[in-house]
Every structure is written in structure tokens, then in C-alpha cells.
Chain A
Amino acid sequence: MNQHLLQEFQAIVGERGVISSPEELHTYECDGLTNFRVMPLAVLLPADTPQVQAIVKICHRERMPFVARGSGTGLSGGALPVENGIVISLTRMNHILEVDFPNARVIVEPGVINLEVTGRVQPQDYFYAPDPSSQSVCSIGGNVAENSGGAHCLKYGFTTTHVLGLEVVLPDGSLVHLGGKCLDTPGYDLAGVFVGSEGTLGIATKVVLRIVKRPECIRTLLAAFPSTNEAGAAVSDIIAAGMLPAAIEMMDNLAIQAAEAAVHANYPNCGGLLLVELDGPVAEVESLMQDVAELCQKNGAWDLRIAQTDSERALVWKGRKAAFAAMGRISPNYIVQDGVIPRTALPQVMSEIARLSQETGLRVANVFHAGDGNLHPLVLYDRHIAGQEQAAEALSYRILELCLEAGGSITGEHGVGEEKKRMMSKMFSEPDLDTMQRVRCAFDPLQLSNPTKVFPTPRLCGEKPGEYVAHPLESAGIAERF
């Protein structure tokens, strides 16, 4: 980066707010998806909103692309730097600005860690519902960008359900407020559009969150099935019986083995493990848990355990939450995917994954949010065996195609980012993608904010929508324009 520009940035964020030495920049060349790497020109660490605005205004003036970054735990390359661009790291903006219990709202800066929000409101028995597995390290700003989910979104919804308002620095450096502390701010729901836009519409500098009162009780059932098919059938029966559990998670045998090896969660060794969590008033939960247990038994569950206390629950969840990291115990490398299928397609998709696994000789472990059909197939491979990484990538994309063929989605919570943008045109038609990009042009006509992500081919915003073409009537002389 040229010295003059560097000095300009230093004048905004101070010398310690600029990282530009190659050694230090290495930390920022990728996010949680490590197989894509790009070196940024510099990393800037603003401390407040005016600093973010000042940085972005320079980027706008210089036509220099920028990528906002939180904790860098994303799994789709959303925070991957772009060529000849800078990274704006929001980690210094980590203050909880307001906690309002009567209205159940919390206002935070984007660098606040997800779990810190719950930590702050826990004494009053509230919690912040979205709970991605990385919640102890991931930031709210990153959650907003990716519309993060988690195990409990079956009942509680996603980040977008819990974000009511945003302060946003637009890609020209101007500041806007979308939504607010009150519901239904007049106008377009631009907060709804911004959440999950993967950093392509600007940078959120304040976030208004909704917090939720803790339920009276939580019970977690662990059920062992011969295979994921029986476990899947039990899930369908639970849903068909009109219940809405807080979470339903499933793991296959390979995932169980990995979790056991890593954290000794004391899971039964079985073909399909189901974890069902119910929460709410005691009387309600206890009667429904009875029903859940019966439905599991009816579908062939041979070991049922109910965790009652917080410590028992924590142990049950430990293996599930550690599942991705646990793969390191059974395989040198792995690729995790994030496809979604309609729940009913589970047996068919699982058997197809098993077939593909056999065909390619690559092991696939399956961990998923079974209640909402969000699969996390983990394709295991060894980078040092020639060709295996490519084969694993191909298999993981093939699994996403299976999800699409079943009527699902390529991503349930990890985002498209860099990794899956080429899959977008398999899920959406050209006009679908073009319409989304027109919205992007309204926010970022110069395409400076994380410009290379999400969409397979960028749209030039100079292209006028509805370009003039002579109408047949006009050509025929029936009508004229003036």
C-alpha cells in the first residue's frame, strides 16, 4: 500500500490501529475456511463509528475494496480479504452500549462476542437466543453478516429474528439507521435485507438485539437408534405430533466416534443418535417429553437418557458442539458443508450420501440439525494424498447438489461467501440473482464492500435497469414516445 494512504489511515485509527507488516497480515489472510487465502494490503482496527466512516470514505474515494471482519470464525470465506483491498476489523468495537430489560433489548457494537450478550443478561434470567457452535468466540457483527443460526433456531429463529435495528456505514461512508428499538419502522425492511448479506451492503456499527426470558425448565433427551433412518422417522413423528422442540440434533456413527474420542461425552455407540431438547413450563415439558420418549421407542430407540440438571445437559451437548473440531481425531483434514433439505427427504439423501461415500472411498460423517433439515456432512480426507483434497471438494459440492435436487438450499447458516458462490446459479435462476444484485447496487453502486462474494458473476451497477428497447407497438407506429 502506498505510504501516503497508509499515513492517512494512521491519522484516523492511530499507528496501533493499522496492521501492515506481512508477518502480522498472515493472521488475516483467511477466516474459518482455510483453503482460500488472500493477503490484504492492510488491516485497520477502528474504535468507533466515525473512524469506520472515515476509513470507508477513503476507500470510496480511492475505489479500494474493503472487507469487514469480526472474529474470523466464518466457514464460507465471507471474511476472506479481496485482492488489493483492506480488511476492516471490528474487534475493538466491543462494547455493550445499552441493556434494557423492560423492553428486552440490548444494543451492542459489532465486535461484542455472542456469548457475552447472554453473559450480561443472565443474572436477570434472560438470554440471547442465536447460538452458533462458535458462540464463545464469534462476534455479533459476524452473526449479522451471516445470519447465523445454531442448534436452537428450530424454535427461536435465526439472527435475523433477533436483530431489530442496525446502524450501518454504507459503502460511500454515509451513516444510516435501519429498523430500530421499536418494531415495524415505516419503510422497507432494510434491516431484514442487511442481515445475512455477508458484508456486501456495508458495515454494521451498532446492533439492536432482542433478548428472551429463560424458560422455566429445559429437558434434553438422548436416544440411540440402529441408524439415522429410524432416528429420522422419530423426528418426523415428533413434528407430526404437533410439538416444536427447542432443538433436535442428530449424529451418525462416525460423528459419534469422533465426539467420543475428543470429549468423552459418554454417548451410546449406535448408528443414529438423537438429541431432543424441550423447554417451557414444567408441566408442559414433562408431559411432552413422555410423548417424545414413546415416539423414539416406537421407532426403535434402544437407549434413552434424559438430562435434568444443567451439568447433565452440558455433558450431552458437549459432544455435539465439539463435533466439527472432533473430526481432527479421526481424520487429518475435513470439509464441512451446510446444505438444507426438507426433513422428509432425509432417508433418501442420507442413503445417497452413503453411496457417494462408498463410490469415492471418502468417509463422510454426518452431524445435523434434524429438526430443520440442516445437514452438516463432514467429508474426511488427507491433504497429503495426491488428488484427495480435490475429490473431497467435489464430493462436498455433489452433496449440495443432492440438497438442491431434494428441494433444499446450499446453505442453512454458514453463508455463501467465497466457497459456494459457484453453487448459487444452481439454486437460483439468472433473473433471481440479477434481482438480488439490483438491491446490492442500491447500497453499493461501486461494488466496494466485500465485492467478490456471494454472487457468481458481479453485475455492473451502471447498467440501467429496464434499458430502453423499442416496443413493438412503437416500431409498428401505433404508439410513440416523447
Chain B
Amino acid sequence: MSHTPWNQPGSRNDSEEKRSSFPTTMLKASAIEEQLQSAVGRANLRDATAEDMVSGVRPQFVVEPENEQQLVAALFCADEAGAAVIPRGGGTKLDWGNPPKRAEVILSTARLNRVLEHAWADLTVTVQAGCTLQSLQNTLAQHGQRLAFDGLWPERATIGGVLSTNDSGALRLRFGGLRDLILGVTIALPDGTLASSGGKVVKNVAGYDLPKLVTGAFGTLGVITSAVFRLHPLPRSARTLSFTAENFQAMQDLVLSIQDSKLAHTALQIRWPCADILFEATDAGLNAQESQLHKLLGSTRVKEASGHVWNARQELWNSRTDNAVIAKLSILPAEIAKKVDALKGIANSRKLTWQMVAQAAGITTLRLDSDPVSISAAVRELRAEVEGSGGSLVVLRRPKILESLDAWGNAGDSAGLMRAVKYQLDSKGTLNPGRFVGGI
């Protein structure tokens, strides 16, 4: 049925109109500079260089606030001046999403890099957005704990960045995604509001769950200044085992039989033609699990592997990526083989090579290498195939020439609602304009 639910007066659909009719402030660069300087001080403001480019768009300024108050002030100034703001953590995933429509100011969280409180006896941590994942894990490890999340490039990736991009690793199978680990968040909004939601305890249903709203929002609603997470103990021991299968369907069957078993594995991935399974337990527990796995897999040969295999996802970025597309596919766990079949067909007809790492939960990272025209066509075909069964294909990395290729695909029937949420929190479209789903 084609009805337009968003055209009630005062409701959602007129947000576009409001935005364009909103009095835009046109300030000269020097005036923006002056304002930003008053917000963060001269030392924390510099001109942007070619290094600061965001998907081909060159910003004018880079602001590095020293504290939360400065960050709020800088964001507010930019919003007032009508300058578009690109929040940046470690910059490792800055090329994900669509290119920004505008980008005047890079708002860096690099200096907000402290672990504010590791309440180890309560298994929680409060950490500033600019803290790197590795540095957080190092602090937590002092008390035998971890954030049960294995993100990309942990030495450089920041908490704010992994949250905003909803990065998702192999540990997700057991511990859930970042949405399931985050307990609280503080965000700065373009209108100068600094708001917290959630809390510091592992169980809390007071108020709306805004920590989930900003997880994966690509910094389009507010700038995360700090977050609270629930923690897990570091495992007593861990063991990785690998196995292979004759064809992809056989591999899919093995993976599904493991998922349907009583094994208590922590991670399970297919990096064709191998698959890896991670057990974390006591030593006695590990031995028992391993022998059960042998029993379950029957004649399939299982061998112990190094923990390095869990870097497979990150390694997809290792070789030159000038002509590669790297995408995140979300598909139903039982349909991985079917989608790989489709992929093979597309790859054959379009003459491209592919590599993939698929998590048993259905999140798959895929790399395609070929000429831009073939890749672009292949992405569209594969996206249609995946969306056809309720999944999604999101382009993470792509060649410069393919910047017009939409990163997100179909936004579904909630796109209008998403725009309404965006309008409520960032009415002028200051934050990351144009980078997100449905033109947000």
C-alpha cells in the first residue's frame, strides 16, 4: 500500500522544508575561526590539511577540545555558524559511509582519552570517547577484565568511533554487539545540550535507551563524549580450532550443526576455505569441548590454530585497497551458503575476485577486487540479492571513483522516522551531513 504517513502538519515530512528555510548563517571563514578559537583556545584549533580530507571533501579547520565543555562549545559555535561538523576519533573508519555534503570543521575527540572510572568490582567502566580501544583494554586487563569486543585497528580506533560505526567482531556471537555492551552515554548536541542517558549499573530501564540510538548512528545525532560499558572477565584459557570442508554448503552445514549443539563456543567464523572456532573456559572445560567438537564434526579434520586467525577480518584491508570495495553484509546465519552461491555467480560474470570472513551470527565482511565498473555493478546485484531476503549490504571502503555508490542501500519504511529523529536532535543538519542512510 502506498500511503505517505509523514505528511501530517507539524509532523515529520516537513523537516526537509524547515531545514532549507531555516535562516542559515553565512559567516566568513575568519569569523568561524574566531568563534571556534573562543570556544577551545588557539592551541586547540588549526587549519585542516590534505591529511584531514573526508572522502574527498576538505574541511577548513580541525578542533581538538581538551575537555567536554570545550567540545560542547565548539560544536555549538559551528552549529550557530552553519558550519558542518565531522566528529573524528582515531580516523580509522572516516572513509565509511557516504561522502559528506559539506565539511567545514573536524571535531576531534583525540584529547578526551581517559578511562574515567574502572569499577572493576562492579564490572563496569566509564571511558571518554577519544580513548583507544587498546588503551582501554590495557587498563581493564590490570584487573583481569575486558570489553568483550574485538574491533578493527584497536591501537588507533577510539571508543567514540567504534560506537558510532557499530564495528562488530567475532566475539559478538557470545557477548552481543556494542549495543548489548553499552550501559550509558553522554552526548553533545549541536544546540549546546550535553545529555546523558542510561546509567552506570548493568541493569537499568529508566528512560529511553539513547546509548543504543547513538550506537551505529555515524555521529549524525550528537557527538559522544563518554560511554559506560559492562565488562567481562578475561578468559582463564582459550583455544582456537580450525577445520575445512569440501564445499561451501558442507561448511554451512557444519557451522549450523555447531550452532545447534550444546557447545559453548565464544566465536565461530568462516574464512573460506577454513572455519575457526574459539573456546574460552577452564583447562578442563577446553578439553571437554574439544572432544565434543571432534565427535560432532565426525570425519572432518580439526586442528589447533593460532589466535591470529581472528584478525582475518582486519586483514581484508591489508593489501592495497585502491581498487577494492569492502562491504559489511548482514544475512541470516542459515543463508550464508546461498548468498555465497549468488556471489560466485556475480563474480564469474563480472570477472572479479572476492574474499570474505563470515561470522556465524550472519555478519560478513566481503572484499571485492576488480575494475570500478564491474565492482559497482556487482555491488548493486549482490545488494538486491541480500536485501531480497531481509538482509543488508553496507559499503565500508570503496575506490575514490566510486564515491557516488550509495553506502547504505534501502532504508526501509522507517526512513521518515529516522529523519524525524535526526531533525529533533540536529535540526540544521550540522553533524556529518549526507553521510548516513536515506540522505541523513
Contact = CB atoms under 8 A, between A and B. Distances in A.
Interface of A: 60, 100-105, 146-147, 149, 153-154, 157-158, 160-161, 170, 172-178, 180-190, 192-193, 195-197, 213-216, 236, 239-240, 242-244, 280-284, 287-288, 340-344, 369, 372-374, 407-416, 420, 424, 427-429, 431-436, 438-443, 445, 454, 461-462, 464-466, 468, 471, 473-474, 478-482
Interface string B274-295: 0000000110110111001000
Contact of A432 (B122, B179, B197, B216): B197
B216 A189 contact: yes
A281 B31 contact: no
Given A189-B212, A439-B213, A465-B425, A281 B292 contact: yes
Interface of B: 3, 5-6, 8, 10-12, 23-28, 31, 34-35, 79-81, 119, 121-124, 144, 166, 168, 176-177, 179-180, 187, 189-191, 193-197, 199-210, 212-213, 215-217, 221, 232-234, 236, 256, 259-264, 281-282, 284-285, 287-289, 292, 328, 330-335, 361-363, 390-392, 394, 408-415, 417-418, 420-421, 423-425, 427-428, 436-438
A263 to B, nearest CB: 26
Contacts of B194: 431
Contacts of A473: 27, 31, 35
A180 B31 CA distance: 47
B212 A282 contact: no
Interface class of chain A by DSSP: loop
Contacts of B34: 478
A164 to B, nearest CB: 11
Nearest to B119: A342
A184 B365 CA distance: 13
B277 to A, nearest CB: 14
A478 B12 contact: no
A154 to B, nearest CB: 8
A282 B168 CA distance: 30
A236 B45 CA distance: 46
A461 B9 CA distance: 12
A435 B209 CA distance: 11
Nearest to B23: A481
A440 B361 CA distance: 31
A186 B209 CA distance: 18
A284 B418 contact: no
Nearest to B213: A193
Contacts of A479: 25, 27-28, 31, 81
A287 B285 contact: yes
B213 A188 contact: yes
B333 A103 contact: yes
Nearest to B202: A372
Contacts, number: 319
A299 B391 CA distance: 51
B310 to A, nearest CB: 19
B362 A189 contact: no
Given A195-B209, A282-B288, 4 more contacts: A102-B260, A183-B363, A442-B421, A481-B25
A187 B212 contact: no
A242 B233 contact: yes
Contacts of A172: 5, 8, 11
Contacts of A216: 262, 264
Contact of B212 (A160, A409, A442, A480): A160
Contacts of B10: 445, 461-462
A154 B215 CA distance: 22
B285 A284 contact: yes
Contacts of B205: 146-147, 149, 158, 196, 409, 411-416
B26 A482 contact: yes
Given A170-B417, A466-B428, A481-B25, A281 B180 contact: no
A174 B210 contact: no
Given A161-B180, A242-B233, A409-B206, A466 B191 contact: yes
Contact of A439 (B191, B210, B288, B408): B210
A441 B215 contact: no
B123 A344 contact: no
Contacts of A408: 199-201, 204
A407 B126 CA distance: 12
B392 A281 contact: no
Contacts of B427: 464-466
A184 B285 contact: no
A160 to B, nearest CB: 7
B213 A185 contact: no
Q: Looking at A183, A239, A465, which has the most chain B CB atoms within 10 Å of its CB?
A: A183
Contacts of B363: 183-184
Contacts of B436: 187
B392 A185 contact: yes
B191 A187 contact: no
Contacts of B236: 242
Nearest to B191: A466
B259 to A, nearest CB: 7
B8 to A, nearest CB: 6
B83 to A, nearest CB: 12
B425 A242 contact: no
Contacts of B212: 160, 189, 192-193
Contact of B196 (A173, A340, A432): A432
B186 to A, nearest CB: 9
Q: Looking at A100, A182, A213, A412, which has the most chain B CB atoms within 10 Å of its CB?
A: A182
29 contacts: A149-B205, A157-B180, A170-B417, A176-B5, A182-B391, A182-B392, A184-B177, A184-B363, A185-B392, A185-B412, A188-B216, A193-B212, A197-B209, A242-B144, A244-B233, A281-B263, A281-B288, A282-B288, A284-B282, A372-B201, A410-B206, A432-B196, A435-B187, A439-B425, A454-B207, A462-B10, A471-B25, A481-B23, A481-B24
Contacts of A101: 260
Given A184-B168, A186-B408, A436-B197, A344 B285 contact: no
A436 B208 contact: yes
B288 A170 contact: no
B195 A432 contact: yes
A11 to B, nearest CB: 20
A258 B151 CA distance: 49
A287 B288 CA distance: 12
Contacts of B259: 104, 213
B414 A416 contact: no
A192 B411 CA distance: 17
B79 to A, nearest CB: 8
A183 B420 contact: no
A170 B5 contact: yes
A321 B81 CA distance: 58
A439 B424 contact: yes
A184 B413 contact: no
A204 to B, nearest CB: 13
B409 A186 contact: yes
Contacts of B27: 473, 479
Contacts of B263: 281
A161 B203 CA distance: 12
B287 A427 contact: no
Contacts of A185: 330, 392, 412
A215 B264 contact: yes
B260 A213 contact: yes
Given A281-B263, A342-B122, A409-B199, A190 B418 contact: yes
A428 B392 CA distance: 36
A38 B23 CA distance: 46
Given A196-B205, A415-B205, A213 B213 contact: no
A441 B417 CA distance: 10
The 7 A-B pairs of least Cβ separation, nearest first, read A174-B5, A192-B212, A242-B233, A284-B285, A102-B334, A283-B288, A435-B195
A189 B5 CA distance: 20
Given A436-B210, A454-B207, A344 B122 contact: yes
A184 B207 contact: no
Nearest to A471: B80
A177 B189 contact: no
